[in-house]
Structure 1
């Protein structure tokens, strides 16, 4: 009787289990939405281009196929690839420096509350200062070429690394911290074996955000400091000043794809490192 009672209780629970969706079907469903939105945007783009073409202002919003023709033009493509290489170099250099500085800054602040109260306001101030206000000073102190571009990139991409790393280091449960302290663990052991593993998801969120901002910083720095090797920012300004609409849009698209690529790469690294323990999406 006991066995039949257990079976009668558990049988409905077994019937309510939903069947698993195949992995291929999930992947297809995931891509349907973005592809549909893409075609809608292309349709809206064609409509807007037709409106400007009727006003004899087609260079403001060229047709998508004209932008594609500009992208495949050998001369334009060569210029875009050269500029992309220089902008990527600036973005990655500034990003690496921002990662190192941001993590060190956060580690120092995580050691004591008085250090956080003393240092974090300056991270906020650094984030809130308009870059335009610092451009003349950066140019005077560091010149108007590669170094100045890197500094602008660092200033734009530093704050997410500081804030997210600090948040992750402070997210350790109080009970776990007390357990390490009862075992006589040093600050270095606590940081290496408890705080850093717990902070990895937050650190990679900061990395993804800073990586996207580093590309923005490289483009912005390019437009401010136009000496040395020209990047995408300089190319965008040149095309805009000459009213070369298709080439201008192609440069903007390449810059956007660079930002998306960097964001995706760091997202993949995050899933690779912490995907087993954390739903890193």
Structure 2
């Protein structure tokens, strides 16, 4: 049993898996998902970097999404796996703050990057003649830089607050990573101000972007319906449905988790939902974008042919 008394400065993560055969099965399953996510996202980054056919704004943004997913899942899973394998569930106070910072920074940056990707599809389909101007390399760099900066600023504010309050109860966090709202249930002070801040932050980084994306794709669907080319319509539907799938898998569990009041939240439900946006989505994104994208599959075939010529 962990020494989780109040004199310790460490936190203790309950984790995701029980210490049983079922827990071992789920651990192996998550480990395989983690390896698939690493391989899939690294492959997407390398493929986009090496294949000149993919040197377009859309794939430049997609490479950043893969980089964020790669960093995102690496922030959570290795520590969770280490805790399960070695049975040491403790994490230092500073270590918890570092994990929280990177988790929130990457989550916020990815949420904003998905808006940029939606805007890219909106311009490409609704204003194809203006695409080169509206989605220039400079615009893409500004979008990506803005996503990273805004995500980091938001994360820094939340992390600094969490590290400067007093924790006077049990330091056992009923989660598999240092999720700040869960950490604050251990505080011995009223945190209603922070809970309001979480609501505002979630609205700014999830709800408003989701509304913007929904509006963009509403306009895109109208434009697709007016297309005369059947082939162009199919390609546009395929690209947009791919991006919408990613958006729904990412935004919905995230928003549902953080917009609920504390009285309606449960640790088990929070952990199950967190699996979607911290583990499953980073694994599914490269699969969704590659299997349903002819250009990516074509680049992959060219890469295989160069590597293993017949």
TM-score norm. by structure 2 comes to 0.30
TM-score norm. by structure 1 comes to 0.32
